[in-house]
Structure 1
Amino acid sequence: MTKQFPSYRKLFSEITTLTKFLIESGLADDQNFPAITQTGSDRFIVSYPNGGFATMLRNTAYKELYEHQLRHRSYSIRMLDGALIQMSYEFVGSRIEKYRLAFLPSPDLSEFQNNPELYLEDILYADVVDKRAVTVPLRFDFDDRDGVAQGLLHPKSHLTLGQYSNCRIPAAAPITPYLFVEFILRSFYNTATAAVAAGLPVHFYDIESCMTTEEANLLHIGVPLTSQRIKGHRQATRRT
């Protein structure tokens, strides 16, 4: 099912390239380049240092969770507005087994909203200085281990909004770093012309769907499955 997902070495290279792009674009305030950690004879984790899957605190207020991640530098990218981007992938051989992709906005946007003149000249931050903006963390998860997926209760690939423990919106397929970062830029740091996301270094793969028929019959998150579909989307974005 996930045999066509890029290998851990390709994922390492892709995250490195995306990190450099965010630095060069002036969007990153701090960063941790990815590292490959071998945890068994054929098991590998591609993640930020001090990252992985054990650093997220359960039953913790969002502000405390965010500050814990910030204090321990548990992130791939820290954006200029304080938002944290986390990308961790776990492989068994060439097979993707698990990942966690999180976007953690700063719980306190008062600095940006109280000093809007510092940011209004940059259209990227139009949403940050908008008084209507609300902090909403989000997370894409994938888990292909036996016995973890439980139909609609716990789809193999899903999106969680906020800190709602039972919010698991089905996603059609596993998500690559490129697709995740493009989603974040296009959704939270973009203009009407999609100028930022359009400049991302593109990584094309063919990815197989992991969605069940039951999940597909509900409202769900679509994921581009082929290079051609991604390429067509990028061309349309640049013409906008």
Structure 2
Amino acid sequence: MSETNHRYSAHVEPSFTPKNVIKSLSIDNLIFGLDHGKLDILLVKHKVGLSKGQWALPGGFIRHDENLRDAASRHLHELTGVTDLYLEQLKTFGRVDRFPSERVITVAYYALVSAEDYKLVAGNNASDACWFGIHELPELIFDHKEIVDFGIQHLQQQVRRRPIGFNLLPEKFTLLQLQELYEGILDTKLDKPNFRRKIMKMNLLTSCEEKQTGVAHRAAKLYRFDEQAYQALTEKGFSFEI
């Protein structure tokens, strides 16, 4: 997605940021957004400082009086307007030369969301905020490309082992919708018969005894994810694997 063709971007006045921060420790948020089968990443453009005019992951320094995840949520909200995400810690990045002129260690958090559900509003020290496709990323500051690359690999490993993508689907979905979700996250084309055979063999889907309505093509059967079945199978040593 190009800079001139992004969605839901606006500008608001900067918010006040306290001075009581730990200047050797920062937060960076890697937010993946799935948009119609395409995996995007949320970026912000800095409007002040050494990286003015450059694109970056939304983040910043941590206050002395806040927890790490609280700092991650605060920066995400102040820079992009996005709220109410459950952020998981990804990794700590501490290469000596990752930040110019001084030593700064960053703790990266990540989340996977439906990109179309979030209206972005650039604020604080960001002049813009928008989604970019993983193959259309602009040049990023510092080691943020390294963070992105690590995060993509981690997400793809996780989605093959845990059903973390199901929450991005409607309550009732088709097997094609499920396959397209996994193809978007894994960035690859999956063999249709093999994918369906694996999914159905896991016994994690419950038939809704319904078919699609209002579609021009042949209506497909609808399913729902059975969370209770997944939990019960996991307790018995079940391994989810795509």
Instruction: Give me the TM-score of the superposition, normalised by structure 2.
Output: 0.23
Larger Rg: 2
Relative to total residues, which structure has the larger strand share, 1 or 2?
Answer: 2
